[in-house]
Structure 1
Amino acid sequence: MGFVESGVHFDHCLTPFISLAEHKSSTVSEKKQDPIEVHLAAAESTWTTERDGAVQLRMDATGPGSEPPVTTLQMFQDNLERFGHLPAMAVKRDGQWKTTTFLQYHQQSRAAAKSFLELGLERYHSVGILGFNSPEWLISEIGAMMAGGFPVGMYFTSSADACLHVAQHCVANILMVEDHQQLEKILQIQDQLPRLKAIVQYRHELKEKRPNLYTWEEFMQIGSDVPDSKLDDIIASQKANQCCMLIYTSGTTGTPKGVMLSHDNITWNTKRFGEAFGMQAQEIGVSYLPLSHIAAQVLDIWAPICFGGTTYFANPDALKGSLVDTLKEVRPTRLFGVPRVWEKIQRTLEDSESTSSFIKKRLSTWVKGIGLAASLNLMNGTGSRPWGYSLAHYLLLRKLYARLGLDRCLWCQAGAAPITKDTLEYFLALSIPLLQSYGVSECTGPHTMSTLSEFRLTSCGKPLSGCKTKILMPDEMGNGEVCLWGRHVFMGYLNMVELTRDAFDKEGWLRSGDIGRLDRDGFLDITGRIKELIITAGGENIPPVPIEDALKEEVPIISNAVLIGDKRKFLSMLITLKCTVDPVTLEPKDELTPDAIQFCQRLGSRATRVSEVVRSKDPVIYKAIQEGLDRVNQRAVSRAQRVQKWTILEKDFSLESGELGPTMKLKRYAILSRHEKVIDEFYKL
């Protein structure tokens, strides 16, 4: 990735795209803003569960935490003078990229807000949005806020029942659906939504007309007679310490909860995030992760509004294979990916390398060695380039960046789920540091960030300016619950008093539910999750992730490993193997990946399918896994943390099976339930 560090420009910065220094100087000049008159709603507590409630802000006396609060709508309006003429978003329709400026974006959002009011959107009630990322999605979100409602993203892969839970809980007055497929889900549950007043299908033609069902074009005209003064009054009445949106947790550990985020949560944290990366006007990002997730909200909606960046929308089949094509067209300046995205890119590159000639393989090995040395020099603060780097860049790296569409990317980021050390090291060898971040929906996304100047390989970085981290009740290794403080901490869970109260410690710090430790320099490492913590029958507390990651590192044919042992006498493990994925359905197939096949061949196995390994209990592969597990067990801090039994499942986990969440996190409770019989076999006498 192109970056500048200690005055040294790495060669792949030198592309037709302007350098980082030029990029900063080319931004639209900032007009000095008049002081903002701050009006906050009366509040008695730092949390609330009421939809019309307000909270006390965690403001500091000085520094970033003392900045005047503004609403999201104020931020948008205030930035129009600087960014109004710049492209805010672009989408490919009929084979052509169509752009929308910030001024057009704002005008269309106002039109949508008027239509929401005309359709009967009530103050502090919700507009549900069900579909893939698009301009209509963003316009619906901003329009809902302008009209005094809460935008609520629904995962576009959700079932009708999952949509029903969210729509009922948030009291949706209006539902925006992308196409007929999404519409059918809502029609199945419409009778159970008495407060629902209208449905808008915002893409494609309606297959049939129904009462209170509108096309996007019809919807955008419905509110044309609503006076500007009415909308302006509603916008002006909103306060920075009131709720403006709901984010529903992914439900990987239970029923999704409605996270209430205030205007100040979003505007304050977005500014901190953008400043950490030095974001400037005309940054380019690609939107493909679910907008119902807080990470995509910050990256694709709020950071561009705050800093004048452009959001390009990927195709709906982005994660089925078209993402790289979009990246090559758009050539983004920044890219965020959940670990599964980076792992998929890694596998694709490894598969390509495995079929290349002997000479190319040797060249690749040499180049990656040079790239790793360059990256380590950067991390160590020397910034010096090893001998041969320019040649390595010319022969391979520059071509690789162009092939991935990352030739002008200033930074790449990984987050939303744990990523393996193997993947981090692989990209580091390509001089692509994956900057890890950490955060949760309850802190409006990012809390800690790695940057190119402060980077540790497996660390999630340091807190954003104005944010604080503490470790609650650390053990002898320094591991304890990660607690967060700052103006980005959420208001509460909608209508859930007890869960909200439990989310904070006695001093008002947000309890993340994650286990981690801080090193002496303030870098945060996440080592597990409390709700995933295994407590054996003997009372031993065991975080599963380090053990699982260690086995995957020892045995590279393993795709997923799930540790079992809660209330059990010993630990066991479910294992899946790396297999190819159907590009259309994303369902795992029986065929092993090329690198997995190569692993088998090196050991003397002829297996090319998962079923061949499992049904024959391939002695070579099973021995390799056991030996890898033996090495992991030797490093265990106690006998209770050694894995005694394991098995290979015939199919990898997937979204469709419910074993993976929308951000590709393991849904442990679903996995345990689905494979209950297999697990019980481990513990039969």
Structure 2
Amino acid sequence: MSADEHITQRNSSVSGNDTKGSTEYQTGGIHDFKTQPNESCSFTTLKSNTDEEAAIPLMVGDVHLAEAQELWSTVRDKAVKLRMDRSGLGSQPPMTVHQMFMATVQKFGEYPALRVKKDRTWVTLTYNEYYQHSRAAAKSFMKLGLERFHSVGILGFNSPEWFIADVGCILAGGLSTGIYTTNSPEACQYVADDCKANVLVVENNKQLTKILQVRDQLSYLKAIVQYKGELEQKLANVYTWAEFMKLGENVPDAKLDALINSQSANECCTLIYTSGTTGSPKGVMLSHDNITWTASAAGHMIKLKMAEEEVVSYLPLSHVAAQINDMWISMRIAGVTSFAEPDALKGSLGNTLREVRPTRFLGVPRVWEKMQEAMKAVGKNSSVMKRIISDWAKVIGLQASYNTMNGVSSAPWGFTLANILVFNNVRKALGLDRCRACYTGAAPITKDTLEYFMSLYIPIFELYGMSESTGPHTMSWAEGHRIMSCGKVLNGCKTKIDKPDADGNGEICFWGRHVFMGYLNMPEKTENALDADAWLHSGDLGKHDKDDFLFITGRIKELIITAGGENVPPIPIENALKEKVSIISNVMLVGDKKKFLSMLVTLKCNADDNGDPTDDLTPQVVEFCQQCGVVASKVSEVINKKEPAIYKAIQEGIDHVNAKATSNVQRVQKWTILPQDFSISGGELGPTMKLKRPVVNKMYQEEINKFYSE
């Protein structure tokens, strides 16, 4: 497609900036800047399409792009054209990760960048120190023989070393690659081999042991670095973090600078591997521009303030959401990233939040659900008077939240008092008293959870995107959100609803500079994801309302197609049951190619020290049982005795959901309680708690077969 061709929009509806303003930016190609791509450009203030002044300034530096012929690539060292717009955010000059980092360091070098707790004391790295550590790591990677466009794999929990290894790899001309800590040795081997990892950076002996099991099968591997603790045994080409950081001391600055200056914004610098639930994991190739532009656009969209933001890093950095939120947006706006403890999701996150008091917080739905459960448990143990005041305040809080969402300026009567007595205290107890915005993403969240926090005057803003869109594609913010909507398209990007039905539902497609380069070494899968006009097909179903808010209505691959040929989106049915029956933890609808629908159900249970589900019911479920006249404290007791009261409660919930079904085919006819809850370690959930349906189908095939054999 030539630079001035327009985007085909047959059988679709488009939301976002006018596609007629789009152009592809390449060396020697058509562009809208007054300078040639390799000339120096000075820029002042970033403007949105409404020409409002933003808090995030543009960079000052060179626009340098490598020669490119296509908008996509599956080869690690092949550059791509950029999806440039003629005006607005989409026309922002491209820059490399180093250019973005340097701009922040030059202006905010003495400001705090990374904070981590060591021996009960918070230790801080400034941006100057962060940059110097990253350069030192880059030199050490060069010394270890990191080849251009080969990878450094990072396997461990979030830490300053994780960031420094990632950025250092990029500065040294490599492809930074996160590897999930839950991966088996075989899964680690696949990723390390596919990305041609020359160096693997691991957290501790546990992760090192995994790599040592497959080390002989990693043909590109030259060295391993352990960034926490001492080595339990000295091995060839295995280094502690301290040893690693000294390796490159004699590498000349000029040599590193030459390597940095050779990099172009339209070249790959990062790989994000998908979880591989439907086959081998795919390496999502992200360019410098993917990262730097998305960080700028997202920060502008939600009106982040330079050098005033702080986040807590605890979600897996191998996942694009955490990486963009914790690393790149923070770097772009000179924000502070404070690291949680490794057991954050096992209970310590609350303590970290109360200590750090972040200005924004991103939680996957399960994190918000756990907070909700814990707060309800505390509420039940409060005095009668406190419960009366809390219930009164929640009614006011919910109304106030809806007023704010709908643009109604007036607050309900009693709001000020409710804020003083309840809301301020809740925010402080959660560590969210400085938090200007709370977000959720990576998986569907229930209306019940959203309204619970709205009743405490803590609106949770939904985000939507994927690894292939460098994280966010749509975002919600204080002045632009609707409950159960994932917001509006990122400024400078576009959404196409492909082949919409009578209700406006169709496949959600993306266009913009956040769209990935392609899947590493997978041309066929790349062609399946990007159509002939380079729109990214998400595989998700959705529609826009009259105000252009996007609502996700299902996922094409998750659609259950019954024996009668009717399409059934499972998530709305699953969420409806979870909202109706509070003791249910997870639900999965089944019935593909079957005559009727069935359900797999799990009960809420406690987790052990490793975060694995136990047989012990949560206190809330035990209390529910007692209220039903049932003496049970374990999941197995409920199942073995097939406790009538508990089974009746679940059946009544299913009956309620069935009563609202749009057709008889969408009614659930059979169900069973599974003996164990879903978990990451068990394989049923991904790193962000997203349900892995193919895995669950395979694991519980026997139970599913029973539904249809009786």
Which residue of 575, 597, 600 maps to 2:601? Answer: 575
Amino acid at match of 1:479: N
Q: Residue 503 of structure 1: CA displacement?
A: 0.1
2:112: which partner in 1? 87
Give the alignment of 1:247-646 within 5 angstroms: 247-280=272-305, 281-582=307-608, 584-646=609-671
Give the Å deviation of 1:581: 2.1
Per the alignment, do residues 393 and 30 of structure 1 end up closer, same or farther by CA in structure 2, a change over 3 Å counting? closer
Displacement after TM superposition at 1:385 (Å) = 2.0
Inter-partner Cα distance in structure 1 for 2:473 and 2:68? 25
| CA distance, structure 1, for counterparts of residue 558 and residue 146 of structure 2 | 40
How far does residue 508 in structure 1 lie from its aligned partner after superposition? 1.5
Structure 2 CA distance for partners of 1:110 and 1:680, relative to 1, 3 Å: same
Pairing of 1:200-215 with structure 2 (within 5 A): 200-215=225-240
TM-superposed deviation, 1:31: 8.6
Q: 1:97 to 1:475 in 2, by over 3 A?
A: same
CA displacement at 1:354 relative to structure 2: 1.6
Judge which range, 587-596 or 396-405, deviates more.
587-596
Identity %: 59
Give the superposition deviation at 1:587: 1.6
Task: Please say if residues 55 and 303 of structure 2, whose CA atoms lie closer than 8 Å, have aligned partners that are also in contact.
Answer: no
With over 3 angstroms needed to count, the CA separation of the structure-2 counterparts of 1:80 and 1:605, relative to structure 1, is: same
Structure 1 residues 378-436: Cα deviation after superposition (integer angstroms, max 9, x where no partner): 11212322222222222222221111111111110011111111110100001000000
Q: Deviations along 1:32-54, whole A, 9 cap, x unmatched? A: 864x3322111111100000011
CA distance in 2 between counterparts of 1:256 and 1:269 reads: 23
For 1:512 and 1:100, the matched residues in 2 are separated by: 38
Look up the match of 1:45: 70
For residue 73 of structure 1, what is the aligned residue in structure 2? 98
Q: CA deviation at 1:507?
A: 2.2
Query: Conserved in 2, the CA contact under 8 Å of 1:86 and 1:282?
Result: no
When structure 1 is superposed on structure 2, of 628-637 and 211-220 the one drifting more is 628-637
CA spacing shift, 1:284–1:546, aligned 2, 3 Å? same
Moved more, 130-139 or 356-365: 356-365
* Contact 2:55 2:304 (C-alpha < 8 Å) held by counterparts: no
Which residue does the alignment assign to 2:25? Answer: none
Change (3 A) 1:30 1:635: closer
Q: In the alignment, which residue of structure 1 is the partner of 2:145? A: 120
The residue matched to 2:461 in structure 1 has which SS? strand
Q: CA deviation at 1:604?
A: 4.0
- Larger mean Cα displacement after TM superposition, 616-625 or 233-242: 616-625
Q: Distance in 1 between matches of 2:423 and 2:545?
A: 33
Q: CA deviation at 1:476?
A: 2.3
Q: How much does 1:634 deviate?
A: 2.3
- For residues 538 and 170 of structure 1, the distance between their equivalents in structure 2, rounded to whole angstroms, comes to 44
Q: Distance in 1 between matches of 2:669 and 2:146?
A: 57
The one-letter code of the counterpart of 1:221 is K
Distance (whole Å) between structure 2 residues aligned to residue 575 and residue 506 of structure 1: 42
Change in CA separation of 1:252 and 1:665 when aligned onto 2, cut-off 3 Å: farther
Inter-partner Cα distance in structure 1 for 2:194 and 2:232:
29
1:30 positional shift: 8.7
Distance in 1, matches of 2:633 and 2:92, equals: 59
- Between the aligned partners of 2:132 and 2:235, the Cα distance in structure 1 is 29
SS state at 1:621 partner: helix
**1:154 and 2:179 correspond:** yes
Taking structure 2 as the reference length, the TM-score comes to 0.90
AA matched with 1:238: Q
CA distance in 2, matches of 1:30, 1:255: 39
Give the total of aligned pairs.
656
* Alignment CA distance shift 1:43-1:31 (3 Å): closer
Secondary structure of the residue that 2:219 maps to in structure 1? coil
Listed as ranges, the gaps of 5+ residues in structure 2 are 1-53
Partners of 1:193 and 1:33 in 2: CA distance: 40
Give the partner amino acid of 1:81: Q
Paired residue type of 1:646: W
* Cα deviation digits, residues 56-107 of structure 1 (max 9, x gap): 1111111111111111111111221211110000111111111001111111
Could you tell me how far 1:258 is from its partner in structure 2? Answer: 0.2
| Aligned partner letter, 1:593 | T
Range 601-610 or range 384-393, more displaced: 601-610
Q: 1:468 touches 1:484 (CA, 8 Å); kept in 2?
A: yes
In 2 relative to 1, CA 535–672 (structure 1 residues): closer, same or farther, beyond 3 Å? same
Distance 2:631 2:403 in 1: 41
Q: Please list the CA deviations of residues 229-279 of structure 1 after superposition, one character each: whole Å capped at 9, or x if unmatched.
A: 111111111111110100001224432110000000011111111112211
2:270 equivalent to 1:245 = yes
Question: Aligned equivalents of 1:591 and 1:117: distance in 2?
Answer: 51
- SS in structure 1 at match of 2:173: coil
- Letter of the aligned partner of 1:630 in structure 2? D
C-alpha spacing 1:617/1:677, structure 2 compared with 1 (3 Å): same
- Deviation track 1:598-655 (CA, whole Å, cap 9, x = no partner) reads 4334444443332222222222222222222122222222222221111111211111
Distance across 1 between alignment mates of 2:150 and 2:58: 36
* Secondary structure, aligned partner of 1:683: helix
Shift of 1:361: 1.6
RMSD across aligned C-alpha pairs, in angstroms? 1.5
Query: Aligned equivalents of 2:516 and 2:615: distance in 1?
Result: 43
- Secondary structure of residue in 2 paired with 1:59: strand
Over 3 Å counting, the alpha-carbon distance change for 1:505 and 1:33 in structure 2 is closer
Stretch moving more, 184-193 or 651-660: 651-660
Evaluate the alpha carbon distance shift between residue 32 and residue 392 of structure 1 in structure 2; reply closer, same or farther with a 3 A threshold: closer
The whole-number CA distance in structure 2 between the counterparts of 1:566 and 1:254 is: 19
Residues 180-219 of structure 1: pairs in structure 2 closer than 5 A = 180-219=205-244
Match of 1:10 in 2: none
Given the alignment of the two structures, is residue 676 of structure 1 paired with residue 701 of structure 2, yes or no?
A: yes
Q: 1:108 aligns with which of 118, 125, 133?
A: 133
User: Which residue of 645, 669, 674 corresponds with 1:649?
Assistant: 674
**In structure 2, distance between residues paired with 1:333 and 1:241:** 32
Amino acid in structure 2 at the alignment position of 1:195: Y
Kindly provide the amino acid, as one letter, of the partner of residue 114 in structure 1: K
* Structure 1: segments with no counterpart, 5+ residues: 1-27
> How far apart are the structure 2 equivalents of 1:45 and 1:670?
36
Q: Are the counterparts in 2 of residues 354 and 595 from structure 1 also a CA contact under 8 Å?
A: no
Deviation at 1:358, TM superposition (A): 2.0
Give the AA of the match of 1:147.
A
Residue number in structure 2 paired with 1:173: 198
Q: Are 2:396 and 2:412, in contact at CA under 8 Å, matched by a contact in 1? A: yes
Q: Which amino acid aligns with 1:174?
A: V
Mapped contact 2:59–2:100 kept (Cα < 8 A): no
Aligned to 2:23: none
Query: Would the aligned equivalents of 1:252 and 1:665 in 2 still touch at CA under 8 Å?
Result: no
